[in-house]
Amino acid sequence: MRRQRGFTLIELLIVVAVIAIIAAIAIPALLHSRLSANESATVGDIRTVLSAQAAYHSANGGFYEGNLTCLADPQSCLPSYPPNGPAFLDSNLAALNPKSGYNRSFSGGTAAPANPAISGTSVTAFKYDAVPTVSGQTGTRGFAGDHSGRICHTRDGSLVPAQAGGGLARDCEVLR
């Protein structure tokens, strides 16, 4: 009978140890990449909302919209908007559903004066927030944008402070 040769227990343990070392190096890098991707996607969404509000501002007599669903369906809110006109914002963003590991919220500022030519939910200012669903796992910073076009962040994942009347606090940490 011929003796069959295979791997020894020591050789198998060495291979397992090498794989464990590689995993210990790669997994934290992968998690950091995921956090960065979530934060980048969230900042992109905030920029999209700010752009949509700026365009709506022009179509709504110089006022912003206090109800994001009106940006997704402007015909239902703007009295003179053409029936075949485009939406300002995607309905998924307007619904404020969690996305990319971030919870979204929206607040309007002071109501605009009543005017039949503009939307009934018009405001003079707004603030759009995004905070991590699970701080440290889905994101580490909280983000917000407002009518001024600024995007600010917090380092601990909390809400960015607001100012009275709507919008971001003047001393918020601006995203660069």
Spell out the per-residue pLDDT of the chain, length 176, in tens.
667 778 889 999 999 999 999 999 988 888 889 999 999 999 999 999 999 999 999 999 999 999 999 999 999 999 989 999 999 999 999 999 999 999 999 999 999 999 999 999 999 999 999 999 999 899 999 999 999 999 999 999 999 999 988 899 999 999 98
pLDDT for position 5: 78
The answer to whether residue 162 sits within a structural domain is yes
The answer to whether residue 2 sits within a structural domain is no
CA distances from residue 101 to 42, 49, 138, 148, 173 in whole angstroms, order as listed: 9, 18, 5, 26, 21
Residue 77: domain span: 10-174
Q: Are 65 and 159 in contact (CB under 8 A)?
A: no
Structure tokens at 32: 């950091």
Counting every residue written for the chain, the total comes to 176
The answer to whether residue 32 sits within a structural domain is yes
Per the DSSP assignment, residues forming a β-bridge with 162 are 168
User: How far apart are the C-alpha atoms of 48 and 42, rounded to whole Å?
Assistant: 10
User: How many domains are there within the chain?
Assistant: 1
Q: Are 152 and 93 in contact (CB under 8 A)?
A: no
The answer to whether residue 1 sits within a structural domain is no
The answer to whether residue 111 sits within a structural domain is yes
The answer to whether residue 3 sits within a structural domain is no
pLDDT for position 28: 86
